[in-house]
Amino acid sequence: MKRDFFSIKTLATIAMATGLLASCSSDDSPIDPGQEPGKNEDGRWITVAAARMGENPGDGNGGTLIYSISSEDAKDPNVSIEPFDNGFIVPSNRTARLQSSEDGNTIFNISYAGDTGGNYTKYNVNGGQDFEQTGSEISIAPYVGSAPRWIKLFDGDQTGAAVYVNTENQFDNNETPNDTSDDTYIRTEATMGIVTLDLQNSAIKEFQESRLPLSEELEAQGYYIGRIDMPTLNTAGDKLYIGARISKVDPETGETDRNAEILNSKTIVLDYPSLENPTIITSEVGKGNTNGYRSINAFEVNGSVYQANQGDPNGSHILKIDADNQYDDSYVFNLDEALGVEDAYILAWRPTVSGKAVVAYRHAGSAEGVAGAQGYFALIDLEAKTARKINEIPYSEDFYLFQYQGFVVEGDEVYVTEAPVGENGNIYVIDTQTGEVTKGAELVNVEGSHFIGVF
């Protein structure tokens, strides 16, 4: 018999969540140092994130709800949870950008867009829909806007980093300054902003803006850095790597060139913690983007940083940046070759400390589902450069992973969610050493919605 973890219907839950938000002011009383808020005696908290449909199935624009259970219950297929009916509503106009502490006892959130866009809040995880706001709120919107791209650095839950890039096409219009019809395109100026945030004390640490020029040759062709995301700290803790997407305009028209040649993958490297002296490094192995989408795209493992690329015409690679802060072009790990597919596209991934990792991906053979291309999970080995599809997890054409965000790593185990858009599914736990897959708690879905991971 299933054990159902629900008792309150949607309207009551929304009212309760609203009350919780209203009661959690920025001057909450400090927590008694003798207490251990969020401590779970039955293992790590596993927080499930659910993205409600807005106007279209799978768009996730109806808001984000979270619900937590113990790791013991997460592995139990007799447990059933209904995050959409009973979850805590995370403040965010669209799909929330969530992060969790390493022990799972704290959830960090920066609201994305809307009236609260750019507001940082954190919550103690107390189980079920009980997320208790702790500490003060702070807005990073004045630094990086109301829809910031941010990530938690792997420095013991101390620091978050948010980034943006502004671009401006530059033209030679000296002769007729009021008439731009015959202007000559020169280049596109890209300006990066980055802010670091003290997650524990809710305070701004550093903020810097910097120009991001490419070579004169590339800029003359219309190339520029058009999007950045996913800052990652190197092993030494003195450099920050930021993934980049290269865009292009047609110099003849000044319009976006959507058929441009895809350049080799690039990453911005800058000093940390000062956030100064940015340089750009280029891979000779991979092509395409390194900024990812909504999930962390690069991780430090055993002294090097491993980074996924997207949009590579030869299929996604895992790229390697060594301690000298340069790409290691002797390291070639192509997912097409490892999986025996074409046009593999890494949507999200997460390694363990051993160098084994779980990858969410799609490929040219993916079916077109109600929300987009069908997704899959694979188990990869960074050292051996091998990969295999995890066949123990069921796949539907409506299993949509483009917006996937969260994996939980507990030792050698990686927790994921599986549920087609609008259909029920389960938590699955992959032992990355043995390859064993455990089917866990049931996830009850609602029409047009989907799950975006665990934290």
What confidence tier does 64 reach under pLDDT thresholds 50, 70, 90?
very high
pLDDT value at position 25?
A: 32
pLDDT above 60: residue 266: yes
Which run of H or E residues covers position 202?
Answer: none
Of the chain, the percentage scoring pLDDT greater than 90 comes to: 84
Q: Is 405 contained in some domain?
A: yes
Q: Is 23 contained in some domain?
A: no
Pairing mode, if any, of strands 159-172 and 425-431? unpaired
* Alpha-helical regions (H) of 282-389: 335-339
Query: Which of 400, 369, 408, 448 is closest to 63 using CA atoms?
Result: 448
d(CA 202, CA 204): 7
Mean pLDDT computed over 228-238: 97
pLDDT above 60: residue 184: yes
Mean pLDDT computed over 411-419: 98
Q: Is 30 contained in some domain?
A: no
> Cβ neighbours of residue 201 under 8 Å, at least 6 residues apart?
135
pLDDT value at position 174?
A: 57
pLDDT value at position 19?
A: 37
What confidence tier does 272 reach under pLDDT thresholds 50, 70, 90?
very high
Of the chain, the percentage scoring pLDDT greater than 70 comes to: 89
How would you class 79 by CB atoms within 10 Å of its CB: exposed for 0-12, middle for 13-18, buried for 19 or more?
A: buried
Which run of H or E residues covers position 422?
Answer: none
pLDDT above 60: residue 433: yes
pLDDT value at position 39?
A: 60
pLDDT value at position 93?
A: 79
Domain that holds residue 243: 45-454
Strand order in the sheet with 79-81: 3-5, 79-81, 437-443, 425-431, 413-418, 408-410
Query: Which of 235, 233, 227, 230 is closest to 273 using CA atoms?
Result: 233
Q: Is 61 contained in some domain?
A: yes
pTM of the shown model: 0.90
pLDDT value at position 1?
A: 42
Q: Is 22 contained in some domain?
A: no
Q: Is 410 contained in some domain?
A: yes
What confidence tier does 95 reach under pLDDT thresholds 50, 70, 90?
confident
pLDDT value at position 445?
A: 98
How would you class 177 by CB atoms within 10 Å of its CB: exposed for 0-12, middle for 13-18, buried for 19 or more?
A: exposed
What confidence tier does 181 reach under pLDDT thresholds 50, 70, 90?
low
What confidence tier does 85 reach under pLDDT thresholds 50, 70, 90?
very high
Structure tokens at 117: 């866009």
Q: Is 196 contained in some domain?
A: yes
Structure tokens at 346: 């890494």
DSSP label of 78: T
pLDDT value at position 224?
A: 98
d(CA 451, CA 64): 9
pLDDT above 70: residue 6: no
pLDDT value at position 247?
A: 98
| Predicted confidence (pLDDT) per residue in 12-56, tens digit | 333 333 333 333 333 333 333 333 455 676 679 999 999 999 999
pLDDT value at position 38?
A: 56
Q: Is 25 contained in some domain?
A: no
What confidence tier does 397 reach under pLDDT thresholds 50, 70, 90?
very high
d(CA 120, CA 122): 7
What confidence tier does 179 reach under pLDDT thresholds 50, 70, 90?
low
154, 300 contact by CB (below 8 A): yes
Structural domain count, the chain: 1
Average pLDDT of every residue of the chain: 90
pLDDT value at position 454?
A: 98
CATH number at residue 281: 2.130.10.10
Pairing mode, if any, of strands 79-81 and 3-5? parallel
